[in-house]
Amino acid sequence: MMIELSKVSKSYCKGKYALQDINLKFDKGDFVGVLGNNGAGKSTLFKIITGIITDYQGQCTVFGKKSSIQLSNEISYIPEVRGLDTKAYVLEHLVDLLQYKGYSKKEAKERIIRWMEKFDMIKYQYNRVGQLSKGNQQKLQIILAIANEPKVLILDEPFSGLDVITCNDIWNVLEELNKQGCTIIFSTHEIDSKLLKCNKYIFIKEGSIVASGTLNQITGQYKKVLEINNTSFEPSKVKDIIKDNFLEKRDDYYYVEVDDDEMAYQIFEKMQNKFSRKFWIREKNLEEIYFHINE
């Protein structure tokens, strides 16, 4: 087990917990999305794993040792608040920072240049950091974080405020690193189809883990969704069947929360005209689960 948290809690003031009774395990090669609203506890979780926060209750071990900032050569962390000096020159600044991880100036420069070329960022090597767009500054943060080839890469809201192309570039690099064996853990409150690339998910709300596991493990905990496209469908006629389950219409489709296949069959029997362009039962998707948890 690469990372394990057992009964971890952290409070910043008496009676107010940022995290409470957290139990989690991360394995080598995991690609984990940590989903939750702002203030849910995602950043606190990451700071405990990386050893930035040490005054917590419970136990957090990394590679079998107590979490510590001394493990920064093996765990790279990109916080939500970026830390580059906007007045510094790009290449010089990244090389200087990488030397703090124990590399000679020559080796640090070789590593930074190699990754800058991969990101198509070498053309900015003599620019000041502050002259670059927000997306390109984020790429610099990632270059610095991965130049030492860490075993674990943790990113706090890496896609926030970035354009679609930059997000796609970052996703491609994260996938490549993960295929090479790097464990990727990142937080987000933005749900899109690319999250399906993850092999595990953690939903966190108000400092507690609400759901965690593979997509199948998580979706299996929730009711299914029935999608209906039928011109004769009358919602009023199935209210007694669905009871408190949600029912909503978007464009020409009705989305009905159902307990099981039997409930869907009862709805079908209530329809005056059985012909449907679509009558499909499926698992809830990540976005629906996210909204269900945070409603």
Q: What is the 3-state secondary structure (H, E, C) of 125-160?
A: CCCEHHHCCHHHHHHHHHHHHHCCCCCEEEEECCCC
Question: What per-residue string of b and e applies to 93-112 under the rule 16 or more CB within 10 Å gives b?
Answer: bbbbbbeeeebeeeebbebb
Residue-wise pLDDT tens digits, 90-111:
999 999 999 988 899 999 999 9
Domain CATH for 168: 3.40.50.300
Per-residue pLDDT, 102: 87
Per-residue pLDDT, 174: 92
Residue 269 lies inside a defined structural domain of this protein: yes
Residue 271 lies inside a defined structural domain of this protein: yes
Per-residue pLDDT, 1: 64
Residue 184 lies inside a defined structural domain of this protein: yes
Segments forming the whole domain that contains residue 246 = 224-294
Residues 8 and 24 in one domain: yes
Residue-wise pLDDT tens digits, 144-158:
999 999 999 999 999
Per-residue pLDDT, 169: 86
What are the Cα distances from residue 100, in Å, to 47, 73, 107?
19, 10, 12
Q: What's the whole-number mean pLDDT along residues 158-175?
A: 87
Return the bridge partners of 10, or none.
19
Residue after which a domain boundary falls, among 187, 213, 239: 213
Model pTM? 0.90
Residues 155 and 131 in one domain: no
Choice among 9-18, 58-67, 112-121, 129-138 with the minimum mean pLDDT: 9-18
Residues 250 and 286 in one domain: yes
Residues 119 and 52 in one domain: no
For residue 70 the two structure tokens come to 């001394």
For residue 168 the two structure tokens come to 């796609």
Residue 6 lies inside a defined structural domain of this protein: yes
Residue after which a domain boundary falls, among 96, 124, 149: 149
Query: Which residue's structure tokens are 């999608």?
Result: 227
Residues 87 and 145 in one domain: yes
Residues counted in the chain: 295
Residues 196 and 234 in one domain: no
Residues 233 and 104 in one domain: no
Q: Is residue 57 helix, strand or coil?
A: strand
Residues 54 and 170 in one domain: yes
pLDDT band with cut points at 50, 70 and 90 for residue 124? very high
Q: What's the whole-number mean pLDDT along residues 47-72?
A: 94
For residue 3 the two structure tokens come to 């990372």
Residues 50 and 186 in one domain: yes
What are the Cα distances from residue 21, in Å, to 10, 209, 262, 281?
9, 9, 38, 35
Residue 67 lies inside a defined structural domain of this protein: yes
Q: Using an 8 Å Cβ cutoff, are 225 and 263 in contact?
A: no
For residue 92 the two structure tokens come to 């010089």
Residues 139 and 14 in one domain: no
Residue 219 lies inside a defined structural domain of this protein: no
Letter for the amino acid at 174? L
Residue 218 lies inside a defined structural domain of this protein: no
137: left (phi over 0), alpha (psi -120 to 50) or beta: alpha
Domain CATH for 256: 3.30.70
pLDDT band with cut points at 50, 70 and 90 for residue 42? very high
Overall number of domains in the chain = 3
Residue after which a domain boundary falls, among 182, 213, 244: 213
- Give 184: exposed, middle or buried? Use CB within 10 Å, 0-12, 13-18, 19+: buried
Residues 29 and 61 in one domain: yes
Q: Using an 8 Å Cβ cutoff, are 169 and 201 in contact?
A: no
Residues 141 and 182 in one domain: no
